[in-house]
Structure 1
Amino acid sequence: MNWPSHGANPHRFYETIGLSLPERLLDFSVNTNPYTLPLSLWPSQADFCRWASEYPDPEATELIRALAQAEQLSDEHIFVGNGASQCIDLLARLFSGKRVGILEPTFSEYRRACLANGCTVKSLVSAEESGWGHEMSALFALLEQVDVLFLCQPNNPTGTAMEKEELYALVQAADEGGKFVVIDEAFYHFWDGGYTTVPWISSFPHLIVVRSLTKIYHLAGARVGYVAANATMIEKLKALQPAWSVSQLAQQLALHFLPMNEFVAHTRCMIARERQRVASVLQEAGYYVSPSVANFYLLRPLNKPVEPLLYSLLKEGIVPRHTMNFAGLHGRYLRLSVKTTEENDRLLSFLKRWQT
C-alpha cells in the first residue's frame, strides 16, 4: 500500500486505505497548535486582502530583524524560508553529495531531501527499549563516519529530547571535527521547561538550528520557517533560495504573531498539562505511551496489534498518524497529537472502550 508520507491529509489517508470519509473528523495526525487566538487578535480582513495582493520583500528584512531580536542574534545569523521544509531542502542542496547521518526514527524529509541531492545517508535507529535514546558512544561513532548530522529536538515522532549536557557534548565534538550538526527545533515552543540550542551558535560555527513558526501559531497555510547559523552559512542559503519564496502574507502574519509571548507560554503550559493527563489515562488503560515532552506522542496497545486500532479509530472519525514510513517503527505505533481537553476526552473515551 502507498501510505501517505505525512499527516494532516485525512482525505488522502481514507482514500488510500479504502474507507469512506466520515462526516465528522477529528484529526490527531496534525501537530500544529490546538489553541487558536480569538479573531479579535487576528489582522483585519483588509490587511489580509492587501498582503495577498502585494509582492513580498525578497530579503524578508523586517521579519529577519524581528527574529534576530527575539533570538538575541544579529541579523546576519538569520535566514527565513517558506516553512522549515524549505530550509531543510536548501540545507540538503548545500550538502549535496556529502555523507549525512540521521538519528531515527525521525522526520522523513531529512532522508528524502538528502537522498534527492546525492548524499549518502547513514542512520542510527533508537527503540522503545532504550527510551528512544542513543548511547553517546554510538553517537560519536556515527559522527566520525559523516560530514553532517541531522537530528530533531524534541524528536518527531517520539516526542523525546536529548539531555542538554549530552547534546552539547555532541555539538562540541562535531564542531571540533569540522562536522556540521543540523538541529530541527520545530517543536521547541511546545516543550515546557525545555532548552534551545540557538545560543550555542556563537560558540559553534558548524551548528545550524532550524525553527518553525507554522506550528506554534497555527499558520500551516502561511509557511514560515527560519534558520539560525553562522553568517557564512546564512549567505550560502540565501544564494540558493528562489526569489520571493516567503509570501507577503506569511511575512506579515509572522510579524503580527511574534510578539505574542503570553500566547506561546499559555500553549506550552496547557500542552504539558494535557499530555501528562492523557498519558496517565492511556497507560492505565493498557497502552504504551512514549515519554514525550512535545505536543504529540507514540502509542501502541500493550497486548494487541496496532492495525485493528488504526482502522477502528478511522471508522470513528479519529485520524491518527501512521508510522509506516518512520525508520524502525514499521507501523507498530500510532502518533497522536495533544489537543484541547474536549478533543482529548473524545479520544480517551474511545481508546478505553476499545481495550475492553
Structure 2
Amino acid sequence: MDDGGSLPVRDELRGQSPYGAPQLDVPVRLNTNENPYPLPEPLVARIAERVAEAARGLNRYPDRDALELRAGLARYLTDSTGHPVRTDQVWAANGSNEVLQQLLQAFGGPGRTALGFEPTYSMHALLARGTGTGWIAGPRRADFTIDLDAAVRTIAERRPQVVFVCSPNNPTGTAVDADTVRALYDAAQAARPSLVVIDEAYGEFSHAPSLLPLLEGRPHLVLSRTMSKAFGAAGLRLGYLAAAPAVVDAVQLVRLPYHLSAVTQATALAALEYTDTLLAYVAQLRSERDRLVAELRAAGCAVTPSDANFVQFGVFADAAAAWRRLLDQGVLVRDNGVPGHLRVSTGTPEENDAFLDAVRTLTKEHSMTVSTPDSTTGRMSEDPA
C-alpha cells in the first residue's frame, strides 16, 4: 500500500500489500487449491430453483441467524464424522476467512496476541493484523510438523489468547495428530484460558479422520471448515465453525447485521443436498493427490507428505526459476514462499498429467538439491477458504 504518507492509516498497515495470488490465463491452472470439477448440472439446476425462491423475498432481510443452513451444516458434520453436532454449535459466514476474522474480533484485538506455526496459512497473520491482534510465529520442525515441546514452551512464555492449528496445514499439506492438539489445548488453558482454533479447511481430503470429536469436553476449542474445497464451491464464499454454544454466542456479538445473504444461504443449502455426489469428487481427488506424490518422487523431487488437495514439492536451488519454467510450459503452480519449494493443487487426471510432464522436463534441465531448507523462514501468501 502506497498512500504517500498522507492517509491516517494504522501504522501496522503501512507498507503492506493486499492479499492476492497470480491469476493468469494458461492451459493448466493448479495454483489456488480449487476443486477442478464444476458442479454437476442437477445441482446447478437445484441452485437455480432455490435462488429463484429466495429472490421472491429479496425485499426483506435474510434470516440473520441462518438457522436452516446451520442445521444443515450440523447434520453434515454429524453424518461425515460420526460425532453429533447440534445447530447451536455451528456458525456460518462468508468464507472461513470471515469466520476466523470474527473469532479474532471476539477473542483477539488490541493488547491481545494470536499464535500460529509457520509456515502456515498466511491469512491467520493477516487477519490478526487487521483486527489489531499481535501475531506470534511459532516453531515447526524441518519436516514441517509442529515441534510440540517448543510449542508448549512458547505458549507458556507468550500466553496468547488465540492459538491457530492448521490441519491439514496450508501450504505444506501436513496433518496434525489428535495427541498434539490435546497437548496444545492443555498448554493453552494452563497459560491462561485461551481459544484454540483448528483450521480444517482441507479436512475432507485427509487420510486421517476429522479432529472434530476433540470438541467434546473442550469448551475453548473451535474447528473451522469451508465449502470452497471439498464442495467445489469456492465462488460461493461459505465457511463455518463448530464449537461450544458459548463460542457461537460470542461470535454473534461482532457479526455484521444480516451478513449472509439469502442467495448465499439458498445456494449452500442446495449444495448440502448433493453432499454424496460432491464427496465422490473428493475421493477422486484424494486418489489423484496420492498419484502426484508418487510420480513427483519418481521424478526425483522431494515431496512433503500431504493430507490436503495439494502437494508441496522441491527442493529447487531456485524455486522462482523453476516456477517460471513450469509456467513457460503452460502450467501455473504456486511459489508458496517456503525456500526451495513449490506447491501444486490437485487437478483433473489430464491436468495432472500435463503438470507431471512439465516437471519431468524441468528436472532434466535443472539440477535438484535433496536437502531441506529451514522450514521456519519465508512468509506465505496462500489461498482463501
TM-score range, shorter chain: 0.7 to 0.9
After superposition, where does 1:117-266 map in structure 2 within 5 Å?
117-127=131-141, 129=142, 131-144=143-156, 145=158, 146-177=160-191, 178-191=193-206, 193-266=207-280
Aligned position for 1:65: 71
Aligned to 1:323: 336
Instruction: Map Cα deviations across residues 112-142 of structure 1 (whole Å, 9 max, x no partner).
Output: 1112222222112425x3x211222112112
Deviations 1:3-37 (A, max 9, x none): 87343x414xxxxxxxxxx5x43211121222334
**Counterparts in 2 of 1:292 and 1:58: CA distance versus 1, 3 Å:** same
Partner deviation per Cα, 1:222-253 (whole Å, 9 max, x = no partner): 11111111222211211211122212222122
Q: Structure 2 vs 1, CA of residues 104 and 174 (structure 1 numbering), >3 Å: closer, same or farther?
A: same
1:51 deviates by 3.7
Aligned to 2:34: 32
Alignment partners' CA distance in 1, 2:93 and 2:219: 20
Q: Is the 8 A contact 1:278 1:344 kept in 2?
A: yes
Q: Secondary structure at the match of 1:56?
A: coil
- Which sits farther off after the overlay, 170-179 or 203-212? 170-179
Cα distance in 2 between the residues matched to 1:44 and 1:143: 45
Structure 1 unaligned blocks of 5 or more = 12-21
TM-score of the superposition, structure 2-length normalised? 0.80
Partner SS for 2:117:
strand
Shift of 1:298: 1.1
* Correspondent of 1:273 among 258, 269, 287: 287
Alignment check: 8 A CA contact 2:140 2:147 kept: no
Residues in 2 aligned to 1:38 and 1:296: alpha-carbon distance in whole angstroms: 22
Aligned-residue offset at 1:264:
4.5
RMSD: 2.3
Q: 1:199 to 1:301 in 2, by over 3 A?
A: closer
How far, CA to CA, are the matches of 2:292 and 2:164 in structure 1? 30
Report the Cα distance in structure 2 between the residues aligned to 1:333 and 1:112, rounded to whole angstroms: 22
In the aligned structure 2, how far is the partner of 1:143 from the partner of 1:31? Answer: 31
Residues 1:140 and 1:322: Cα distance change in structure 2 (over 3 Å): same
Aligned partner letter, 1:64:
R
Q: Provide the secondary structure at the position in 2 that maps to 1:199.
A: helix
> Shift in Å at residue 171 of structure 1?
2.1
Report deviation, 1:109: 1.0
Residues in 1 aligned to 2:285 and 2:329: alpha-carbon distance in whole angstroms: 24
> Is contact 2:39–2:232 with CA below 8 Å preserved after alignment?
no
Question: Percent same amino acid among aligned pairs?
Answer: 27
Ranges in structure 2 where 5+ consecutive residues have no aligned partner: 1-15, 78-83, 365-385
Name the CA distance, whole Å, in 1 between partners of 2:289 and 2:167: 17
Amino acid at match of 1:234: V
